[in-house]
Chain A
Amino acid sequence: MTLFGAHTGYILAAYGLAALILCAMTVQSLVARAAARRRLAALEREES
């Protein structure tokens, strides 16, 4: 792929790693919220 000439590898590496880090951050945040919601719902059920 020569879309960006000699710098293609650097650009793809930078954007690829950025996508990986930002996606990981997003997924981790959503998974943690879902887990907290489940735990809270279970405790509220027990309480009532």
Chain B
Amino acid sequence: MAPPVRRFEFLWSLANPSRFSALARRILPFTAAGCIGLLAYGLYTGLLVAPADYQQGDSMRIMYIHVPSAWLAMAVYGAMSMSALGTLVWRHPLADVAQKAAAPLGAAFTALCLITGSIWGKPTWGTWWEWDARMTSVLVLLLIYLGIIALWRAIEEPGRAARAVAVLTLVGAVNLPIIKFSVDWWNTLHQPASVFRSGGPAIHPSMLEPLLTMALAFLLLFVSLLIVRMQTGLMERRAERLAQLAAGEEAS
């Protein structure tokens, strides 16, 4: 078995903040431009080209923002769990920066998922909210995100905060399979999976194409904003060090 440093050589090469910043500066224009292009195409096909659903009518078009938000809400948490492992196990110097940068983005995608789901639910189910397993478990995900953000702010010493947040993140990861399989394990108002399911997607290609386009656009938006927020985190960390140095010089 290869040692961890060899297996994750690429990630370790980014441990140097200036190397990460140089790579981030090169990648950011492409992810941002890709996001804008895909958003424009996805909105055009989703709102104007794709047909209305034979049962739900046009309200189904909310799916093109609701489902990508739900996927991102879970994927961001999955990525944060990997970062938590990076902090606790491999002690990667950028893992906590990535985790701190990703948490508000994940919370925003989760809130968007809940809001758009509620708006879609009214014309489809006749109610804005139901305490069924899927909706409740996604609400719990939002509360975990908010808890993680609060914990970052509550502990002053960055190293201690990073370790505490990493532990909380890993504990909260148990909610991910609950969200995914809630529609199979319990009787829910929410429909079962229709894209990532055994037997292939149950959605017609004319609707699947805008859905996947919007999902890719949301993913690129997340990557772009994650890079921006990580750059911010690194600059704040350096500024903090300089301020401490200056304070130390003044004291002596």
Tell me the A residues contacting B by CB distance below 8 Å: 4-8, 10-11, 13-15, 17-18, 21-22, 25-26, 29-30, 32-33, 36-37, 39-40, 43-44, 46-47
Contact = CB atoms under 8 A, between A and B. Distances in A.
A18 to B, nearest CB: 5
Contacts of B105: 25
Given A40-B239, A44-B242, A7 B112 contact: no
B243 interface: yes
Q: Is the interface of B mostly helix, strand, loop or mixed?
A: helix
25 contacts: A4-B52, A5-B58, A6-B123, A7-B59, A7-B123, A14-B119, A15-B47, A17-B115, A18-B65, A18-B116, A21-B108, A21-B112, A25-B105, A26-B225, A30-B228, A32-B232, A33-B228, A36-B231, A36-B239, A40-B235, A40-B236, A43-B243, A46-B246, A47-B242, A47-B246
Contact of A11 (B58, B112, B228, B229): B58
Main secondary structure on A side of the interface with B: helix
A17 B232 contact: no
A21 B229 CA distance: 16
Nearest to B249: A47
